[in-house]
Structure 1
């Protein structure tokens, strides 16, 4: 009796792979009616235009985050000023009194407080940027907007906090004999350049933190190491004076972006901090770091725009 072959099983219809090109007719139909891929990354100029159109959201979100930061504390917004002041007091006790780094540094208290305030601005911006995406997944997944709004708004909130603290810094400077001069106006370009640098670095950290949330636990140790290498509590020029350090170490210490922005602020505000204490071409360093971090950070963050909040 001849054996009957069973008909082949029908091949199931498989869904097209994610990212596969659609049917040419379907693609043409979508293009004709202005349809685009859901969540597709816009071009860089279009992305920049979208950010500009949402500038009011960025500023409002920054103010809201700053207000909500201390709502549960009894002293409220006063902690914006108390936190860097308490840090400065601790560093003065440990480094200025016990270790003696104030020797050879004129106007050590203004020197120290200025360094603490400026580095706190950098540190808080980077820390907030690291959690900008991973800490706001609900917002990222629920609403469509350029994700760069988040790290920019967090850095803007930190700038607002620094401006509040600057009032206390001015009082401290006046109490320790500093007289307002035209050089105080240099604070504006110095803070502008640092804000651009902080925002670019925060964007880099936001993308890295979105992929690796554990990075937020590591950042405090990295930032603390960076602070000790930035001359916050001591003068870098006095520390390296008389030591036969390799030239690349001297260049790294003087070109450290945190130290550059701190030195610019000290030069602007403190009478005894003279130009010979600044590294060569310090304004070129400050502008170069701001341009490098701002451009690279923005492009690096934009490259992963369609992946934020997924998976």
Structure 2
């Protein structure tokens, strides 16, 4: 008796697998949180310019809301810092020797340096310190470090009012050169914003950088001529040429010296490094454009992980 051999049925035909990209294009789907093009990113940031300015103003107003003196501390804090530096460096270390108008010289340096220092510190924590906002809302993340830099610019403008009073009290007359403050502030703001964007990306990935930054910034301050005249030190010391170049081209020192040149009549053009305006514009362009692109390249990673 023969036995029939069961043959397996032929395999069912499988539907062709459609490419995910084609499927997404058919239904108009896109990756959530994907990085836009650089041009589109700039456009998104411009569309939220009102949010950026309002956020910066709100942060500035809330900064001293718990203090009894309130917004007075916006001017009192840098003035107290200048008083401490005057006592330590001007009196105890006698760095004011042969520096005309030392008090305006020092206060200008402290105010301008504080602008850079505070912008960078705020930028370092811009993403890591606002993760709730970053994860809850969809917006270009660059708005945060830009708004923090804008907040510090508003803080500086309050301080500049006090600086004008100090200049007049110490016999520094108003001059047309005071209008140079505007381009100096613009260049410094672009530079500060660019560095804040760089530090915001680094701080988002490694929050511990925020603990290291005060030490790095303090070292930078001591080499930027905030409390002493770089020009006079370089003339009196036989230092290698590379040291001359590094101290003269230091971006913080460049913006401080340009502000002193604009406001203090005893601070002459001869005390500025050669091609100082080109150096100031170059630092602003390098930090502003480079920092923005560096931050944009990691746009889709912020708030994740």
TM-score band, normalised by the shorter chain?
A: over 0.9
Structure number with greater Rg is: 2
Matched position secondary structure for 2:236: coil
Matching of residue 145 in structure 1 with residue 139 in structure 2: yes
CA distance in 2, matches of 1:59, 1:110: 30
Matching of residue 206 in structure 1 with residue 200 in structure 2: yes
CA distance in 2, matches of 1:34, 1:178: 65
- Alignment map for 1:44-83 (pairs within 5 Å): 44-83=38-77
CA distance in 1, matches of 2:238, 2:20: 70
Paired residues, number: 289
Matched position secondary structure for 1:241: helix
TM-score by length of 1: 0.92
CA distance in 2, matches of 1:94, 1:243: 22
Matching of residue 288 in structure 1 with residue 287 in structure 2: no
CA distance in 2, matches of 1:242, 1:80: 37
CA distance in 1, matches of 2:68, 2:213: 28
CA distance in 1, matches of 2:250, 2:283: 9
CA distance in 1, matches of 2:127, 2:121: 12
Aligned-pair CA distance for 1:207:
0.4
- Alignment map for 1:148-297 (pairs within 5 Å): 148-297=142-291
Aligned-pair CA distance for 1:164:
0.9
Which deviates more from structure 2 when the two are superposed, residues 288-297 or residues 27-36?
Answer: 27-36
Matched position secondary structure for 1:283: helix
CA distance in 2, matches of 1:110, 1:278: 17
Aligned-pair CA distance for 1:33:
3.4
Aligned-pair CA distance for 1:74:
1.1
TM-score by length of 2: 0.93
Name the counterpart of 1:6.
none
Name the counterpart of 1:36.
30
Matching of residue 135 in structure 1 with residue 129 in structure 2: yes
Matched position secondary structure for 1:271: coil
Aligned-pair CA distance for 1:30:
1.8
CA distance in 2, matches of 1:204, 1:26: 35
CA distance in 2, matches of 1:305, 1:274: 45
Aligned-pair CA distance for 1:25:
4.0
CA distance in 2, matches of 1:108, 1:222: 26
Match of 1:125 among 119, 130, 137: 119
Which deviates more from structure 2 when the two are superposed, residues 30-39 or residues 93-102?
Answer: 30-39
Aligned-pair CA distance for 1:29:
2.9
Aligned-pair CA distance for 1:209:
0.4
Matched position secondary structure for 2:224: coil
- Alignment map for 1:75-94 (pairs within 5 Å): 75-94=69-88
CA distance in 1, matches of 2:20, 2:284: 45
Gaps of 5+ in 1: 1-22
Aligned-pair CA distance for 1:288:
0.2
CA distance in 2, matches of 1:283, 1:29: 54
Matching of residue 114 in structure 1 with residue 132 in structure 2: no
CA distance in 2, matches of 1:198, 1:249: 24
Deviation track 1:31-69 (CA, whole Å, cap 9, x = no partner) reads: 133321111100100000000011011001101111111
